[in-house]
Structure 1
Amino acid sequence: MKILLLEDNISLAEIIKEMFKEKGLNVDWFEDGEEALYNITNGYDCFILDINVPSLDGLNLLKEIRSRDKTTPAIIISSNIEFETIKKAYNTGCNDFLKKPFYIYELECKVDLLCNKEEEIIFCNNISYNLKEEILYDKNKNSIKLTQKEKRLLTLLCKTPNIAVSLDAIEQYVWEGEIVGISGIRSLIKRIRSKVCKEFIQTDNYGYKLITKK
């Protein structure tokens, strides 16, 4: 699982990163809201946002996130506990609001509750992909071998079914910023199509999208 953390308190951010690292999760940490905004399409499973940070505050960043992504869980962490601020956070689209100071265990529990839901995408011939396990199964529930990059791309597409993911976002998420170009992406898409049925992954001028049964 991949988390975007927006927090300008270095000590707190390091504690949060270490806690999630011990759980085997990846955390991309940003101190600046504008920098975080540039990266929000990189296939995150959860957003943890402080409000009072440089350049672009957490609530305005959340507004930008929700204009593109209505479903990925978002948790606001803030020492601003005024009722109007909390109300605005929920109205903007946060799933939970954690008041500072808090126990790290509280944040861990909230992320577990919001993000660790078993999800399954069904393809043709009862082939299915479990997002939590990142395992592709055939109709008899035998696992189908996937490379690490195939897993990352399939997971990225499954997170936003029926919505196109840009080529830039695919390159950022799967290759972590390494420039591979359209030929590298097409080659990876071709391999995945051979395993989940070609018609389930469609392309347009923007990028690729996964077409699902549900």
Structure 2
Amino acid sequence: MGRSYAEQDVASQTPEGIADRQNVLNQIDRKYGLPEGTMDALWAQESGRGKNAKDSSAGAQGDFQIMPDVAREAHIDPHNWRQAASYAAMRVAHDRDQFGSLAAGIASYNAGAVRISGLQKRYGNEWQSHAPQETIDYINSISRAVDAANQRASTSSNSHTVNHTFGDTHMTVNTKASDPREVARAIKSAQDGHQRRLTWQANMGLT
């Protein structure tokens, strides 16, 4: 049985507390249709997973650096971790749908929807190369973290390797299985993970 929310708050800066919150963020990723690891990467980017959760010079507050007027409009407390995490995910998912890509949704969280809208109107599909450097770095940092999280997830239970060619891609598939049917399932899982990474990279404008 997992820790209660109160226990998570008390232990939030212990390894166990951070792991509890990462599990919550994985659930939030699934709720809003975000790639696994997206909200954990955003949490790390915004406040170092809570280590730097201080009010910014611009006034942003809490683990997810939400402005007070935005929090009031959304009826959330930016210092309430669970409320802030859910709001941040909702914002990223909403802006992803509004602006057409996950990269744009993440950029909007960093730079604001008005700026991303203006960039897209002016530069079309080339908007990202004209974004502020801080925003470009923000997108790239989260992209790398999510890609790494998905690679870890696909290899976390491995003990030996099977070489396999998938289309034009040669893969080394790690699996515990020896039964051919289990090996086939491991290969299919690796293919699915590879396709998720390609989709993520395409969404982020990295291909």
**TM-score for the superposition, normalised by structure 1:** 0.30
**TM-score for the superposition, normalised by structure 2:** 0.31
Q: Which has the larger radius of gyration?
A: 2
Q: Answer 1 or 2: which has greater helix percent.
A: 2
